[in-house]
Amino acid sequence: MKAIILSGGKGTRLRPLTYTGAKQLVPVANKPILWYGIESIVAAGITDIGIIISPETGEEVKAKTGNGDRFGATITYILQDKPAGLAHAVKIAQPFLDDSPFVMYLGDNLVQSDLDLFLEHFRVNNLDALTLLCPVENPSAFGVAEVDENGRLLRLVEKPKVPPSNLALVGVYIFSNIVHGAIASIQPSARGELEITDAIQALIDQGKSVEARQIRGWWLDTGKKDDLLEANRVILDTSCLDSNNLGEVDAQSRIIGRVHIGSGSKIINCTIRGPVMIGDNCHLENCFIGPYTSIADNVRLVEVDLEHSVILQGAKIESIHHRIVDSLIGQRAHLKEATCRPKALRFMIGDDCQIELN
């Protein structure tokens, strides 16, 4: 069994952050989103992984993620010249996949369920395809599956006006090598892409063994700012966040709840109420840091009231005398305030920005 993870695309819904970086590398709880998928696949016993990359962000993904040693895996990078669809990604990965069955995992998704039980079901029942599903409140916004009482997949509908169910496609699929023939048989959709849903439908129409199973727990699509902040909240809330202090905390500071402080970080006259994750070599002074906040390495915060936010590596926020909430601040961004304005501030700021509030 092999796996491919899709880490291409332009990340238009997370701009301006993704003008300068890959959306799959945006951190949730100080870990790139892509790495959660890699860890989930390795935990299921699959260590031969191909990552589909784009020309725009591929080198960054390779430099950040490496050859797989840190995960106990072997990673092969596969270039997709243009975003021509999920089935096209499988098509260009065919030389890597060879005749092996494989997992396909969308790199900007976070799934709580372990893959082991689904892989076992796929093997025991000798399936040709298995799609993972999750109930959602707004199925019209997703690809939706219609299944029978035995879990057999009947059809897939993309963003239907009248959904046949509330079961959305999660973005994790398991295939036998027969899917390559199905992909070869389909034509590009109206948007000019080879759709994996069309390939799965072709398998269904051919009478192949295609099933669907619901995941256990949450599924998080991190394509938008609010989705990413919610993912950060859920991960901090449900993961085993260790309350470690590897840095320096002075006597005037108060640490409440589950708070991780990285090596070399200095906390001076601050109140930090967890769950909060603070990276290495940060400087926090005269701050209140509220729950569900992740602060990456080398961040400097001075006189800041902050909660439910994600601050990326190297950012500086100084002398902001209003509460900052629900914000996503890019790498090396510099934010400071000159005079008082509103009671609360919300930001989505890309990498390398400098902003002064007047």
Q: How crowded is the C-beta side of 282, counted as CA atoms within 13 Å?
A: 32
Q: Is the pLDDT of residue 13 over 90?
A: no
- The model carries a pTM of 0.88
SS (H, E, C) 157-205: EECCCCCCCCEEEEEEEEECCCHHHHHHHCCCCCCCCCCHHHHHHHHHH
Q: Is the pLDDT of residue 248 over 90?
A: yes
Q: Which residues contact 150 (CB under 8 A, 6 or more apart)?
A: none
* Domains and their CATH numbers in the chain: 2-237 (3.90.550.10), 243-357 (2.160.10.10)
Mean pLDDT of 253-282: 96
* Tens of pLDDT, residues 69-100: 999 999 999 999 988 999 999 999 999 999 99
* Tens of pLDDT, residues 151-191: 889 988 888 888 999 999 999 999 999 999 999 999 998 88
- Higher-pLDDT residue of 142 and 185 is 185
Angle at 20 between CA 221 and CA 104, to 5 degrees: 35
Q: Is the pLDDT of residue 11 over 60?
A: no
Q: Is the pLDDT of residue 346 over 70?
A: no
Q: Is the pLDDT of residue 289 over 90?
A: yes
Evaluated on CA atoms 116, 121, 122, 123, the torsion sign reads positive
Q: Is the pLDDT of residue 340 over 60?
A: no
